[in-house]
Amino acid sequence: DAGVIQSPRHEVTEMGQEVTLRCKPISGHDYLFWYRQTMMRGLELLIYFNNNVPIDDSGMPEDRFSAKMPNASFSTLKIQPSEPRDSAVYFCASRRTSGGDQYFGPGTRLLVL
């Protein structure tokens, strides 16, 4: 299996622009998680899905952030409009069953100027 796939790997944008991060989970995994990692706050869970349905989005920082999972093999995390404080590494992870091991993607390094 190719593992969790994320794109792009790096993104540089200007404040106010829309940013879309993409994730393809491992085939057969029914849970998908979006995390954000910064030096100041560490690894934070933003939102997770089960069978394509958002279950808990309490970690989403603001209305500028939104996430979708239109099917079992694809999810997006969108930031609109982006701000410099959104600069971070965003990870997607997936898991097969409730309570099982999470597998992380390589991350998207976002820099908002």
Partner 1 sequence: GENVEQHPSTLSVQEGDSAVIKCTYSDSASNYFPWYKQELGKGPQLIIDIRSNVGEKKDQRIAVTLNKTAKHFSLHITETQPEDSAVYFCAPQTGANNLFFGTGTRLTVIP
Applying CB under 8 A, the span of 11-19, 42-50, 65-73, 80-88 interacting with partner 1 comes to: 42-50
Q: Which residues within the stretch 2-21 sit at the binding site for partner 1 (CB under 8 A)? A: 4
Residue 76 in contact with residue 21, Cβ under 8 Å? yes
Give the pair of three-digit tokens for residue 76.
Answer: 């997006």
Closest C-alpha among 100, 96, 94, 82 to residue 23 = 94
18 vs 56, beta carbon nearer partner 1: 56
Closest to partner 1 by CB, 43 vs 113, is 43
- Under rule CB under 8 A, residue 99 binds partner 1: yes
Measured from the Cβ of residue 1, the count of other Cβ atoms closer than 10 Å reads 8
Decide if residue 102 touches partner 1 (CB under 8 A): yes
Q: Which residues contact 69 (CB under 8 A, 6 or more apart)?
A: 32, 49, 52, 53, 54, 75, 76
Contact set with partner 1 (CB under 8 A): 4, 31, 42-45, 48, 50, 55-56, 91, 93, 95, 98-99, 101-107
